[in-house]
Structure 1
Amino acid sequence: MFRLCLQQDIDAIYEIINDSARAYKGHIPDDRYHEPYMPMDQLLAEIADGVVFYGFEEDGRLVAVMGLQDKGPVTLIRHAYTRTEERGKGIGSRLLAHLLGMIAKPVLIGTWRDARWAIRFYEKHGFRLVSEEEKERLLREYWSIPERQVETSVVLADERYRRG
């Protein structure tokens, strides 16, 4: 079942993000990976900054989350993760499709350049990488991330954004 995540889901969101983000270890720059990948204070700061989490619940247990962040002319998909033991079941694809059906604006997604599996996932769903120049502009305009993360990330855009 797809649903809006509530305050009482914060521990499950934290657990899902940090469980799933272990896949980054050895793939993203060592200076950007740490455990927990997203400390609780950072998660709370993301929510305070407007990230609204949605999830997929199965048998009363949250198994996947994706955040939406309204940035005026675009919507960002942020922090999309599925529990490790639930991967490969199509849950992330279904959650993404559900959220895209709710969004009227162009959608952008940022991820690590070396997270090839994430890039392939989004490309399979119609997203395309933007140019390096466009990526840098978008990351600086819509995300609040360190410069090192700008250097080591990519941005993917949906068809609505590409049509402009």
Structure 2
Amino acid sequence: MNIAYLLLGSNLGNSIKYLSDASKLITQRLGAVTSASSLYQTASWGKNDQPDFINQVIAIGTELGPSDLLKGVLSIELALGRERKEKWGSRTIDIDILLYGDQIVNESDLKIPHPFLHERRFCLEPLCEIAPKLVHPSLNRPFVDLLNDLSDSLFVKKLS
């Protein structure tokens, strides 16, 4: 069994429902959710002229390898109406593979750890909430240290 950390995000429609539906499909198709962060309202990153996102990090136990996990994630995004029209554009659902155990994957269509993970507050805050002792596998630094040293000042607010 491998532990993978996924970032769920949505800024179109009923974002909270999209995240909930994504978690259910992930459990059915990819592996059981073993922990889930709070929901966070976050400013859009990379393209600022769009609605705020709702984000959440989940950990799953999966038997799938990284490539099959990616295929499953993409099929769930498609099932939930994800349309890829523009980079960093608004979307019903976005599911990013942040980490897959302590593996480093560097393929043309898959990079693990996620290449921007250590630069994004909206990833690090929920990740540190559920895995405060986790260490970045290629930077060899605890994620809490990366969060404390972060220069990203975009809006991130935990929802109650």
Q: TM-score scaled to structure 2, two decimals? A: 0.31
Higher relative contact order (Cα pairs below 8 Å, separated by 6+ residues)? 2
Q: TM-score scaled to structure 1, two decimals? A: 0.30
